[in-house]
Structure 1
Amino acid sequence: MTEASLPGAKIARPAIVWILFATLTTLWAGAYGLTRVAVGKGTLEGLPPEWVLPGRLTGGAIVLLTLMLVMGKRLPPFSDLRRWGVIGAMGVVGSLVPFFLITVAQQTVDSSLAALYTAAAPVFVVLGATLFFADERMTRNTGLGVLLGFAGVLALFGPDAVRHFGSASVTAQLLLLLATLSFSASTLIARAAPKMDAIPLAAGFVTVSAVVSWPLALTVHPSEVEADWHHWAAVAGLGLGPSGIAQALYMALVARAGATFQSLTGYSVPVVGAAFGWLFFRETQSWNAALAFALILGGVWLARQGGRGRVG
């Protein structure tokens, strides 16, 4: 029997699980603040997304490949087309596309708002699982949860978005929504993937995303960039922490506590991200952001009550 099959069961978590959870939440939430620094939001200086993305992904790939070699593990052989197909899809859909969209969006939106969009990912995962997997049936609670989650996403945009549709801020929020959809799609890809060792999988798809991103760096001439050491330090931090160490911790947490427990970071990351945004940048969000968060969490809870808990 699994944890998901025991509603209401209280499971004592070892201290190491909570340490992993807290560290993972901190690294993922901190990614939004580091991205804000890297692109120089609100200043005339900063690195373009076309440089930030290859930098963070390359740094993450180096960390994960090093860890994989230290652990004595290997990538699957290139003749294993099915597994490399999944690795390639995860690299593009789960890293390259969403990270680029988020980085572009954070040139004009606050880090705390960008983090808030991650809370909607489980709603899209539930809907996608219902559509693409025969053993994930849509129930009344699941349907209500998805609708409530969508209402939360609409509330995120707020009345200003309706009045100023087409503005830079609204465009950025649409990019964040697309990034959330991309993250959700990568979860569904992982759900259908053949069994693979966790660290080689992470090292493989981050490396693929890094290599595919390299040509982007050539699209911006160095003479067009005004940046100093702290912008580059933020990129290095993104590579070492959220793109490297966090991926390894993510795999360790899933192995120790399961995907359902790990998915709770979808709730904690926006909260910690908002706290970081206020602490370091004095960011504050309007009433509709709090309403949206409540609606999305309510939708996720309802959807989980109606589903079987297999996709988290």
Structure 2
Amino acid sequence: MTTNATCYIKRHAGIVPGGDTEVKNYLTAIEPDYKSLIDNPGLRRRMSHIIKMGVAAAQMCLQDDIRPEAIVTATGLGCVGDTEKFAAQILSLGENLLNPSAFIQSTFNTIGAQIALLHKIEAYNMTYVHRALSFESALLDAMLLLDEGRHNILVGAIDEMYETPYTIERRMGLLRNITAGEGAHFFLLDSEPHEACATLLALETGSTPAPADQFVETLLQARGLQAADIDLWLTGENGNTLHDKPFAALDRLVAPTSRRLLYKKECGEYPTATAAALDRAAREIAAGESRYALIYNHSQKYHSVMLCGSL
């Protein structure tokens, strides 16, 4: 699926890992001072780790009392911690006297709903759970909403990692030579360039047998660009030899003067890690360090490319 509808990134904020796996075998997020972002202590106390991360990242993005006309969130695994907590209560309490909070907060759309409740936003609110294409699906929806004439679309991606899912994925062989991670990122998108820091020029997702370099070149040609125009490449290698093999095809496209960042070395591997890459691209472009940035990721047979540029 492809969209060439240009949109502008007005704000972006993220909660990212600290890059230290000495204490745990996976990367954990450096969490902000939640008291300064979520005023209500009772609400803050009831929120699980992933909900606090997501709501806090959205609060960091929604400054100056901007009210979005739509909220679109993405997650690969959702609130698995709350799901586990509720399942444990069922077993330990014999299905009696269950606290409903964990069940209510275990649904995938909890974070988008909490943001809407905090800001009293009665507008379009959608959550996408499409494995490794969850964030790209949310972005595509937001770009279509902008094309319809809406403004200030809040788009976010949130996933968490803790001991139980890490142990399960490791036992299933899904983390061979891979460092798992977590993160929460939000972006405020608009169809107008006013106050924007970067431009999202194109997004393409799909299931294709074509090599990665052909997949990328097709998108660039549609925008009138060449590979040499890209001065920042963010690619999603994660350390697994089989997973990383398709990325080698991009080597011939990366110019000697360009930079190539393996963004999962910083944030770890998780379903919506491309949001961390987009956050990095927006920061680099806003700082004037790059003119064009391209993000490429794949998971199994699914590919995604995002092209960002300066204003």
Larger proportion of helix: 1
Task: Please confirm whether the aligned pair reaches a TM-score higher than 0.5, indicating the same fold.
Answer: no
TM-score, reference length from structure 1: 0.26
TM-score, reference length from structure 2: 0.26
Larger proportion of strand: 2
